[in-house]
Amino acid sequence: MSLLHPVSAARHLAYSLHYALVRANYERRLVATKKHVGRTSFRSYELYNRHGNDVLLQALLLGLDDGDVVVDVGANTGTYTLAVAASEPSARVVAVEPHPGVVDQLRANVEVNDFDDRVDLLDCGLGEADESRAFHLSSYDELGSFSRDHASAWAARVVDTASVSMRRLDSLVDSGTVPPPDHLKVDVEGFGLNVLRGAEAVLGEHRPTVYFELHDARGSHDEAAAKALLREAGYELVPVREGWVCEPRARTDATQSG
């Protein structure tokens, strides 16, 4: 049996303690402190201001207009969702999170901010097919993924596997379950390409700005293929620290490029 390097072991212990404290705070709904993203603030049961400095989130908030629809894929405990709802009260957010435990934490954060009237929660994954799929629960909650390798990154381990519903964004928009998005954020621990493949009609017809977070190649994520799909759909990719801000070209430009 292999042993962790001392540095890895210390990090694993610190992460394990952190997540144990976070879970206890959510379960008992003890303390929801104020978090800040730029000039926007909201309350959260997280122990620190997670993702408060994300460039992708800041780009999303800058591009937000009255009445916009934001689909937050891989919402986790809701930093993007809460920041959007706090920044623009007329915006509509669809927060998508497949992790059975984390979606309860997301719900707690939405409720403590009284954002129920502007946030819809979908407890499913998004991908390239409408099906049920194995989701790997990680000892580090935010690493939960449809990719086992991603769920066991950073000295984490897979603690369980659950069968969860996966839907195509195209199906959800076509059925009216999700309104056509103006903004699409994708942060799904290695399954971003799958999300894009299930959203090609939405990308082509509704032209949302896409905020795509990159992850390393532990799982099925294929950066080159994701980049090619977006460019084929008529998007300009602007690299930022966490990934890409993908701006749709005008329809005439996209048609000519094809």
| Confidence category of residue 205, pLDDT binned at 50, 70, 90 | very high
Question: pLDDT value at position 1?
Answer: 41
pLDDT tens, 9-39?
777 677 778 888 999 999 999 999 999 998 9
Please, what are the domains in the chain? 51-257 (3.40.50.150)
**Interval 70-74 mean pLDDT:** 97
Question: pLDDT value at position 148?
Answer: 85
pLDDT tens, 224-247?
999 999 999 999 999 998 899 999
Q: Tokens 């190649």, residue?
A: 217
| Confidence category of residue 8, pLDDT binned at 50, 70, 90 | low
Question: pLDDT value at position 221?
Answer: 56
| Confidence category of residue 140, pLDDT binned at 50, 70, 90 | confident
Q: What is the 8-class DSSP label of residue 4? A: -
In the chain, the percentage of residues whose pLDDT exceeds 90 is 71
**Interval 138-163 mean pLDDT:** 84
pLDDT tens, 78-105?
999 999 999 999 999 999 999 999 999 9
Look at residue 163 and tell me whether its pLDDT is greater than 70.
yes
The 10 Å Cβ neighbour count of residue 145 is 29
209-213 sheet: strands from edge to edge: 119-122, 92-96, 69-73, 183-186, 209-213, 243-248, 235-239
* Structure-block tokens of residue 22: 């976070």
Look at residue 70 and tell me whether its pLDDT is greater than 60.
yes
- Residue 239 contacts by C-beta under 8 Å, 6 or more apart in sequence? none
**Interval 100-127 mean pLDDT:** 97
Question: pLDDT value at position 216?
Answer: 60
| Cα separation, 88 vs 199, whole angstroms | 25
Query: Would you list the DSSP string of 115-163?
Result: -TTTEEEE-SEE-SSSEEEEEEEESSGGG-BSSHHHHT-TT--EEEEEE
Q: What is the 8-class DSSP label of residue 217? A: T
